[in-house]
Amino acid sequence: MTSIPILREREGQIYQKGREPFKMSCGKHSLAGSVSQRACVFCGSRVVLYPIADALHLIHGPIGCAAYTWDIRGALSSGPTLHRYSFSTDLREKDVIFGGEKKLYSALCQLIDAHQPKAAFVYSTCIVGIIGDDVEAVCKKVAKEKGIPVLPVHSEGFKGTKKDGYQAACDALFKLVGEGPTEAVSPCSINILGEFNIGGEAWMIRDYYKRMGVEVVSVMTGDGRVDDVRRSHGAALNVVQCSGAMTFLAEMMKERFGTPYIRVSYFGLEDQSKALYDVAAHFSDHPEIMAKTREIVREEISAVYPELQRIKPDLEGKRAAIYVGGAFKAFSLIKALRYLGMDVVLAGSQTGNEADYEMLRDMCDDGTVILDDANPLELSKYIIEKKADLFIGGVKERPIAFKMGIGFCDHNHERKIPLAGYEGMLNFAREVHATVTSPVWKFAPKAVIS
């Protein structure tokens, strides 16, 4: 096979476990001309805030950013569905020349009148930063006139990476935190952070905690409501899933309100159970919570266990490649795949930091390829070399896997089925099983690897 040249500037972002020295040069801006799988600051903000269903989300800029993110997430709401619209100021040439403030102002006013949202988020995209609209001032004015919070989200795409978008979203959310009443909040209460209710995941997780006797004040932002965010400072503990997205908010809440936080993951039986036990441990002066937790974990695992056992033999020894947004998700996936008897041959993320990659190195077997901010050429090269049977990633990775004739599992914000929690693990196993054991691969020509 013809070898695909790896760009020299990218060499520091590719590592094979076992080779020395290990020094991932991550956290860099993507290299110009390399086809990065990354998105932008705006993308990060939109992902985090998207599920707040009773807020207005208005994207200030030309049409693209809004059009491409219309109803793109799998985040479900149990009530209002305002989040599933795609509102844009759709800037035209004259707005770019004369400024878009007027348009923003009236678009905001009209939308608020029409939809009566609890709050409004205004996302600035790239050119807004250039034409110099005073988005802050417009938001302030509208907030005063309409009597709802109107929050600017500084998400100009070029001003950093997706992570900066998380930060911008957290900054906007933080303006709501502390504004609502907390008298009724139980001392055994938590907020769930970084859980976006993809396919109803937040509902499942909320339910576990409720059954444990722990009150969930807010989920940020899955099935989100503005009023819940406003009273979230009343919770005794923040439970943060996934390193990337909402640790910023947890930090800010810790500083301002003294709310402690722990980090968890809801993917895989092991991590999901730990996520419940860790919360129970936090409320150790209520031992009944731990007792109840043990019961729930036992119950939930025994409900999915037989089916998982049936699936496992077919997956034994199959090889998986993982390329996801945040590194934390990769950790959980490695554990979940191991539980299913599979080997991980490639693990990478778009936004991992040094500590994340060290952790990945420690978790992975010898020979595993670890990648930061990879592109299709690198991903395809290594999935062939490592003879992967399965690729786990997002929509942009899917056709790479399929073209190369291997199975694929979607694991991103766009999927529509829950993969978190116990039930989610079963969905995950079923999806992996369905794709890896499909008879269609026998029609796929296989590369001859010398």
Partner 1 sequence: MFSEEKTEEYTATKNACKLCTPLGASLVFKGIQGAVPLLHGSQGCSTYIRRYLISHFKEPIDIACSNFAEDTAIFGGGANLRIALENILLQYAPEMVGIATTCLSETIGDDVPMFIREFKEMHRGEEMPPLVHISTPSYQGTHMQGFHGAVRATVEALATDQGADDRKANDQKANEKTRVNLFPGMLSPEDLRHLREILTDFGLGFTLLPDYSETLDGPLWTEYQRIPAGGTTVDAIGRTGSAAGSLEFGRVLAAEKNTAGKFLEKEFGVKCHSLGLPIGIGETDRFFKTLEFITGMPTPPRYAEARGRLTDALVDGHKYVSRVKAAVFGEEDLVVGIVSFLSEIGVIPVLCASGGRSGHMVGKIAEIIPDYENKGIRILEDADFVDIEAAAEEVKPDLFIGNSKGYTSARRLNAPLIRIGFPVHDRINGGRLLHVGYAGAQRLFDRIANTVIGKRQDDSSWGYTYM
Residue ranges in contact with ligand SF4 by CB under 6 A: 40, 42, 61-65, 125-126, 157-158
Closest CA to 125 of 106, 153, 99: 153
Report yes or no: 424 and 332 within 8 Å, Cβ to Cβ: no
Report the C-alpha gap between 284 and 179 in whole angstroms: 29
Helix axes 354-363, 327-339, angle to 10 degrees: 10
User: What stretch of H or E contains 154?
Assistant: strand 150-154
Q: Please, what is the minimum distance in Å from the beta carbon of residue 145 to partner 1?
A: 10
Q: What is the CA radius of gyration of the chain?
A: 23
Task: Choose among ligand SF4, partner 1, none what residue 237 binds, the Cβ cut-off being 5 to 8 Å by kind.
Answer: none
Q: What is the spatial distance between Cα 348 and Cα 354, in angstroms, rounded to a whole number?
A: 12
Give the one entry of partner 1, ligand SF4, none that residue 359 binds, where binding means its C-beta sits below a cut-off of 5 to 8 angstroms depending on kind: none
* Chosen from ligand SF4, partner 1, none, partner binding at 305 (C-beta under 5 to 8 Å by type): none
Instruction: Give 196 or 382: the residue with its C-beta nearer to partner 1.
Output: 382
Cα distance between residue 420 and residue 428, in whole Å: 8
CA distance 83 to 390: 33
403 touches, from ligand SF4, partner 1, none (C-beta below 5 to 8 Å by class): partner 1
Q: Which CB sits closer to ligand SF4, 42 or 121?
A: 42
161 versus 349: smaller Cβ distance to ligand SF4: 161
Task: Walk across the sheet containing 237-241 and list its strands.
Answer: 215-221, 189-195, 237-241, 261-264
Q: Which is nearer to partner 1, 62 or 222 (CB)?
A: 62
Binding partner of 111, given partner 1, ligand SF4, none, CB within 5-8 angstroms per partner class: partner 1
| For partner 1, the closer CB: 44 or 234 | 44
Q: At what angle do helices 101-115 and 135-146 cross, to 10 degrees?
A: 30
Instruction: Please say whether the dihedral angle defined by the alpha carbons of residues 137, 142, 147 and 153, taken in this order, is positive or negative.
Output: negative
- Which phi-psi region, left, alpha or beta, contains residue 27 (left: φ > 0; alpha: ψ -120 to 50)? left
Assigned token pair, 211 = 């059954």
Cβ atoms of 108 and 119 closer than 8 Å: no
CB nearer to partner 1: give 151 or 235: 151
Cα–Cα distance measured from residue 111 to residue 101, given in angstroms and rounded to the nearest whole number: 15
> In angstroms, what is the minimal distance from the CB of 164 to partner 1?
10
Task: Tell me which of partner 1, ligand SF4, none is bound by residue 400, counting a contact when its beta carbon lies within the kind-specific cut-off of 5 to 8 angstroms.
Answer: partner 1
Closer by beta carbon to ligand SF4, 67 or else 434 = 67
Q: How far is the CB of 179 from partner 1 (least distance, A)?
A: 26
Residue 419 beta carbon to partner 1: minimum distance, rounded to whole angstroms:
19
- Work out how close the CB of 160 gets to ligand SF4 at its nearest, in angstroms, rounded to a whole number: 11
Which option in partner 1, ligand SF4, none does residue 107 bind, with CB closer than 5 to 8 A by kind?
Answer: partner 1
Nearer to partner 1, 222 or 325 (CB): 325
**Which of partner 1, ligand SF4, none binds 137 (CB below 5-8 Å, type-dependent)?**
partner 1
Q: Which is nearer to ligand SF4, 124 or 272 (CB)?
A: 124
**Shortest Cβ 345–partner 1 spacing (Å):** 17
Shortest CB 22 distance to partner 1, Å = 25
DSSP state of 212: H
The item of partner 1, ligand SF4, none sharing an interface with residue 99, based on CB under 5 to 8 Å by kind, is partner 1
262 binds, among partner 1, ligand SF4, none (CB under 5 to 8 A by kind): none
CB of 160 to partner 1, least distance (A): 7
CB of 435 to ligand SF4, least distance (A): 30
Nearer to partner 1, 104 or 289 (CB): 104
In whole angstroms, how close is the CB of 403 to partner 1 at the nearest point?
Answer: 5
Residue 320 tokens, joined:
């998986």
Instruction: Please give the Cα distance from 6 to 202 (Å, whole number).
Output: 40
Nearest to 424 by CA among 241, 301, 263, 276: 301
* C-alpha to C-alpha distance for 9 and 441, rounded to whole angstroms: 35
> How far is the C-alpha of 114 from the C-alpha of 9, rounded, in Å?
51
Q: What element of type H or E holds 296? A: helix 287-315
